[in-house]
Structure 1
Amino acid sequence: MEETVRTVLQKAAELYGLSQAAEVSVALCDDATIHQLNRDFRKVDRPTDVLSFALNEGEEPEIVDGPAEELLGDIIISVDTLTRQAEEYGHSLERELAYLTIHGFLHLMGYDHETEDDKLEMRKEEEVVLSALGMNRS
C-alpha cells in the first residue's frame, strides 16, 4: 500500500508542478477512527473513505531558516471503507487506494465537490492523474 500511495503522490506532484520539497502525510486507519475524526472535525457522524486536512487553509507562520518546504497537509484513508468500495465498484484494492489518495490530494490543493460544477472539475482532475498512472476507468 505504501508504494501505491508514494507513486500516486509523486505523479500528482509532477503533474501539478510541486517542488521536491512538497510534503504530504498519509495515514491509513479503520472505520472507527475515521468516524471519530469525521464527527470531531466535520460534524458528520459516520465513517467516510478519505479525509484531508490542508495546512494552507489558515495563516501559518513563515519559517525563514532551514530548507524551503511546502507542507500541504494530511490525508487519512479508511482501509475498511477502501476494501468495501473496491469490491462494490469492481476495482482492485490498488486502484481504489490510488483513487482515494488522489481525491485527498486534490482537496489539499484546494479542489472540492460542494457544487455540481466543482464535482465535475474534481472528477476530471482525478481522471487526469489516474490516466497518467494507467489506472483510469476504461
Structure 2
Amino acid sequence: MPVLVSNLQDRVPVDDDLVQMLTGVIEAALVEEGMAKEAEVSLVFVDDAYMAELNKQYRNIDGPTDVLSFAMLEGEQLPGDEAEPVLGDIVISLETARRQAREFGHGFEREVAYLTVHGVLHLLGYDHMDETGKKAMRAKEEKILGQVLK
C-alpha cells in the first residue's frame, strides 16, 4: 500500500521513525475498514501559514486547522482504477499538532497519529457533523490507535 509522504514545512522536525509510525497508522485504518492494501494515500505535512491558506480556500475559514482531508473516491470510479484506488490526501499542520499535544497533555507523536487516523476516516466517508457520526468516528479512531500505539 503506497503512502506518499511530503514535508512542506521546516518548523517541526520530521524523522523516519515518525513517518514509519504514521504509515502504520494508515495501514491499520485501511485494514480495519476492509480497504485494499494497494490503496494509495498521500500524507502532507505543512505549517500553520500554509494550512491557513488551504482552510480559507476550501472551507472559507480564516486561520489554520489541524487536519484537512481531500478525498479522491467521491463520485464514479474511473475505469482501470480498481487495482490501486487513490484515496486522497491528508494534510496536517505539524505546528498545530505540536500545540494541541501540549494543550491535551499527551505526546506529539500521539497527536499526529490521531490526526492521521482522523484524516483517513474522512477519506473513507466518515464525518462528525452529528453526535451519532461523531461517536462512531471517535470509537474507530481509538480502536485503530489502540492497535498501533501500544
- TM-score scaled by structure 2? 0.83
Partner of 1:116: 131
| 2:106 is equivalent to residue 91 of structure 1 | yes
* Superimposed CA distance per residue, residues 68-92 of structure 1 (whole angstroms, 9 cap, x where no aligned partner): 1111100000000000001111111
Instruction: Give the number of the structure with larger relative contact order, counting CA–CA contacts within 8 Å between residues 6 or more apart.
Output: 1
Q: Find the aligned partners of 2:102 and 2:70 in 1 and give their Cα distance.
A: 27
Unmatched runs of 5 consecutive residues or more in structure 1: none
Displacement after TM superposition at 1:60 (Å): 4.5
The one of 100, 112, 128 aligned to 2:143: 128
| 2:83 is equivalent to residue 81 of structure 1 | no
Amino acid in the other structure paired with 1:48: T
Q: Please give the secondary structure, in 2, of the residue aligned with 1:121.
A: helix
What number of residue pairs does the alignment pair up? 133
Q: Find the aligned partners of 2:78 and 2:27 in 1 and give their Cα distance.
A: 26
Q: Find the aligned partners of 1:118 and 1:9 in 2 and give their Cα distance.
A: 20
Mapping for residues 51-90 of structure 1, pairs under 5 Å = 51-63=68-80, 68-90=83-105
Partner of 1:5: 22
| 2:34 is equivalent to residue 21 of structure 1 | no
Q: Find the aligned partners of 1:102 and 1:112 in 2 and give their Cα distance.
A: 12
Q: Find the aligned partners of 2:86 and 2:149 in 1 and give their Cα distance.
A: 27
Identity of aligned residues (%): 47
Amino acid in the other structure paired with 2:137: M
Amino acid in the other structure paired with 1:83: R
Q: Are the aligned partners of 1:4 and 1:97 in contact in 2 as well (CA < 8 Å)?
A: no
Unmatched runs of 5 consecutive residues or more in structure 2: 1-17
Q: Please give the secondary structure, in 2, of the residue aligned with 1:8.
A: helix
Q: Find the aligned partners of 1:27 and 1:134 in 2 and give their Cα distance.
A: 21
Q: Find the aligned partners of 2:140 and 2:51 in 1 and give their Cα distance.
A: 25
